[in-house]
């Protein structure tokens, strides 16, 4: 990506209007695993979402996305917009035995806490969080509609890659970024 826009991977120019960071470890599957361990699998669930939110924030602080923002802040004060890794495809998520048993109330709760943790952590880092556009999200709020998973472009990824999406998805995300 940086090859044509920033003189290669080793150099990112400081003069762009806006920087867009996508993925780089900021992803629902990591927090969903933690959510399942902290909430779903526990006989006595936490009374407050605050403990779960703090755990999500801590996990997100250690991502490559945050390290990239830190490096960008060394060269520019321009706006940084962050998009999390796209949610996995619905059929892929439901095929995983550890996640297929999580109820809709819990998936919606997890998605909400994930978005809030992203907003909080990124705000401290001087960046803004752009959630996955709602028209691409399944009703469980933690997966992408399968429509956007067919004919996806996969660059140097294996056949089990379920995070890259197709051109229709990319068009929606690009419109969201431009209007954000």
Instruction: Give the gyration radius of the chain's Cα atoms.
Output: 17
pTM of the model: 0.87
> What is the distance, to the nearest Å, from the Cα of residue 160 to the centroid of all Cα atoms in its chain?
18
**Per-residue pLDDT reduced to its tens digit, 12-30:** 777 788 999 999 999 999 9
Which burial class, exposed, middle or buried, applies to 79 when counting CB atoms under 10 A from its CB (0-12, 13-18, 19+)? Answer: middle
Rounded to whole angstroms, the Cα distance separating 74 from 1 reads 20
**Per-residue pLDDT reduced to its tens digit, 36-94:** 888 888 767 666 799 999 999 999 999 999 999 999 999 899 999 999 999 999 988 88
């Amino acid at each position: 990506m940086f090859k044509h826009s920033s003189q290669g991977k080793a150099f990112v120019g400081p003069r762009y209007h806006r920087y867009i960071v996508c993925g780089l470890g900021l992803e629902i599957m990591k927090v969903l695993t933690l959510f399942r361990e902290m909430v779903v699998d526990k006989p006595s669930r936490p009374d407050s979402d605050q403990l779960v939110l703090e755990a999500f924030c801590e996990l997100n602080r250690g991502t490559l996305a945050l390290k990239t923002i830190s490096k960008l802040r060394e060269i520019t004060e321009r706006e940084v917009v962050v998009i999390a890794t796209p949610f996995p495809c619905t059929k892929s998520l439901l095929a995983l035995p550890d996640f297929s048993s999580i109820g809709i109330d819990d998936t919606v709760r997890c998605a909400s806490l994930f978005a809030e943790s992203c907003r909080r952590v990124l705000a401290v880092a001087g960046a803004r969080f752009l959630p996955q556009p709602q028209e691409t999200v399944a009703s469980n709020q933690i997966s992408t509609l399968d429509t956007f998973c067919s004919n996806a472009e996969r660059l140097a990824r294996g056949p089990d890659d379920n995070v890259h999406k197709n051109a229709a998805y990319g068009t929606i995300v690009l419109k969201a970024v431009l209007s954000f």
